[in-house]
Structures are given as C-alpha cells and as structure tokens.
Amino acid sequence: MIENGFSYLSLLIMIASGIVYIENRTNYKLFKYLPAIVIIYFVVMLLSTFGLWQKTENITATYKIVKSNLLPAMIFLMLLSADMRQIAKLGKKMILTFFLATLSIALGFIVTFALFHTMFESDSWRAFAALSGSWMGGTGNMVAIQSALNVPDSKMGYALLIDSIDYAIWVMILLALVPFAKKFNSWSKADTSIIDEVGEKLTDREKSKKPIEFASLFFLLGFSLFISALAQYGASFLPTTSFLTITTWVVIIATIIGIIMAVTPISKISGSMELGNIMLYLIVALIASRANFTELTQAPLYIMAGFVIIAIHGAFMVFFAKLFKLDLFSLGVASLANIGGVASAPILASAYSKALIPIGVLMAMLGYIVGTFGGLMVGKILEMISA
C-alpha cells in the first residue's frame, strides 16, 4: 500500500506512459474503440478502488500541487497549435458548420439536463458541464472545466464513462454514413468544390512541419510552467464569485494567453502538442486516482443521457444541413471536432480523402479554443436549471 507522495506520482506516470507506449507499439484492437486516455482513467480508477494507495496528507499534497500547476501549462501548450490565421483558411462555410455543431451540442446538454436533472444528484450539473467542455473541444477542456468548477473527482468517472461509450458509438455511426455522402449532399444541395481546394492547401502546410528537438521541448516546458505561475499570480488579483473562482480565472487567463501566443513565432516551435498531451494524461491519471468504481451508482442513467444529447445534436445538424446547404463531410468532421477532438476528427476526414485530414485537425484545434468557454457557459445554464 502506497503512502508516499513521490511513489504515488511515479506509479501514475509509469501507468500512463506504459499504456501510451503499448498503444503506439502494438495493433491491439482495444485501442480502436477505447483511446489510451480512457484506458488510463479506468485502470488507475480500478487500482484506486482496490486501495493501492491511501489518501494520506503527503499524497493529497502531491496531488494538489502537481495538478494545479500542470493544468494551466497544459492548456497553454495545447492552444499553441490553434493559430486562428490557419483556422480562417477553412473558409466561412466550414467554420459556420463547426459553430453550428457547437451550438447543437450546447442545446443537447441544456435540453437533456432540463428533462432529466431531477433524476440525478443535486450537483450533477458540474459533471455535465465538464463533459460539455469535452464535447465542444477535447479532454483537455474537460479537465480545465473540472478544476474551474471544482467538479468532484468521483463525478468525473461519469463524464469519462459517457465520453468513451457514447462517443465511440457516435464515431462508428458517422463512419458508417460515409458511403451515403453523395445522396446526402444531393438532398441538402451542398456544394463540395471548395473542400478539395482547402484540403490541398492545408496538406502542403502539414508537410512543412519541423521535427521535434530537445531544445524545443526543454524551452516549451520551461515557458509553459512560467505561464502557469503567471496565470495563478494574475488570478489572485481578480474578483471572485461563487461561479468565477480563482481557479476559473486561472483557466481563463491560461486560455487567453495560449490563443494570443498561437499567432506568434513561439507557436512554430515543434512539440507543444506532444508535451501538452503528456501533462494531460498525467492530470487524467491524477483525477482517476481520487475516484473508485463503487461511486458510479448512476452509470446507466448518465450513459442514457449522453445518447439523448447526441440524438438532439444529430437532429439539429440534419436540420442545419438542409437550411444552410451543408455537405455530410463538413457535418461529420465538425461534429467529431467538437465531440472527439483531434483524436477522431482526422480519422473521419481520412475516410473521405487523405487530402482532407488537415481540415479535421484544424477544426479540432478550433474546438480547443471554444471548448473551455463554451463548457463554462453551458455549466452556468445547467446550474440555473438545477437551482
């Protein structure tokens, strides 16, 4: 049984890195349905359930220090790739499609929570708010909102459960619809000529990326930790409310700095996404280490709510397609850029054409920008509904 903070942290890092290594070095089918980050969460949560470590004062202090200091650094690093100038090259129609997907997801959360909130615990709005951040951006946005809204680690199990099961089924549905693209586009009267042009231009940019170097990683590590310290220092001077806590301000400041820095030469330094993912996986492992399976008593209800949210989102997207003459490719990639992030949007894009992969990546980057703010806004509405 582990009682020492360093031993606890080193074990979490070993588990997370080991699972990622296995995913990248093997062809296990499991990883096609469950990404490494989800497996990390449930493996660590299982070990926590068995009591492999105790919530001693030393371990709790380690958990709080590492998580609170890495979170702003992670947010900053993941946003460095979200250059608004590149995203603008997607064209008005694809950006419109992305935001329509974001809006429909937000409406899905609000309508679903309004219908079923009496069936959940009183503070369940926090878990749904965290999940909405993930479904508007990615897991990084979810952990940012989890800290900003002080979502209990035990409730995050529900968010991860919906995020893995419901999301996996939605991905399969969207991939299954690819062969029907021509029929759908004919029905919606969509013009797809501009998509191929944008895809070719973005492919040339992807080829020009520089390899990751030691000096680059070292600089990004130091700079991101400095940004973390700066965000925490700045947040201490800002006014707080029951909703806008100091931690919320830290998340907002780190997000704004990341968006600004993404249009500077610093964004061209390779390795920001890789280093950001290392921090993200460790933060997810830390969150999982404070939860256990015995707390997931309402899992089926949460999973059902997740499917209702997706159904509402899908219905709105079909309506928007007819209204704005949108094609199935743009709809599907915009949906996964929100719900799945950079891990799945490019996969769906490649199912249409390899040349379209960069479009999926850039749409997912846009999700990183709006996910945290969108999730916080949805969270505020859900809090008002549950009051």
What is the Cα–Cα distance from 162 to 131, expressed in whole angstroms? 8
What is the Cα–Cα distance from 302 to 305, expressed in whole angstroms? 5
pLDDT at 230: 96
Q: Answer yes or no: are the C-beta atoms of 96 and 251 closer than 8 Å.
A: no
Q: For residue 318, report the phi and psi dihedrals to the nearest 5 degrees.
A: -65, -40
pLDDT at 204: 55
Look at residues 224, 273, 250, 270 and name the one whose alpha carbon lies nearest to residue 372.
250
Contacts of residues 67-70 at CB distance under 8 Å and 24 or more positions apart, as own/partner, are 67/147, 67/283, 67/286, 67/287, 68/147, 68/232, 68/247, 69/225, 69/228, 69/229, 69/232, 70/228, 70/279, 70/282, 70/283
Which residue type is seen at 35?
P
pLDDT at 42: 84
What is the Cα–Cα distance from 90 to 92, expressed in whole angstroms? 7
pTM: 0.81
Alpha-carbon radius of gyration of the chain: 20
Q: 207: exposed, middle or buried (C-beta count within 10 Å: 0-12, 13-18, 19+)? A: exposed
- Structural domain spans, the chain: 5-386
Chain segment 165-221, per-residue pLDDT in tens = 888 788 888 888 888 888 998 998 887 766 666 666 555 555 555 778 899 999 999
Nearby residues of 45 by Cβ (< 8 Å), 6 or more positions away: 157, 288, 289, 291, 292, 293
Q: Is 291 helix (H, G, I), strand (E, B) or coil?
A: coil
Nearby residues of 341 by Cβ (< 8 Å), 6 or more positions away: 134, 137, 138, 139, 364, 367, 368
Residues of the chain falling short of pLDDT 70: 32-33, 193-209, 242, 295-297, 354-355
What is the Cα–Cα distance from 154 to 332, expressed in whole angstroms? 32
pLDDT at 297: 67
pLDDT at 296: 67
What is the Cα–Cα distance from 352 to 372, expressed in whole angstroms? 29
Chain segment 348-359, per-residue pLDDT in tens = 887 887 667 778
What is the Cα–Cα distance from 224 to 261, expressed in whole angstroms? 11
Beta-bridged to residue 2, according to DSSP, are 53
HSE-CB at 127 with a 13 A cutoff on CA atoms is 26
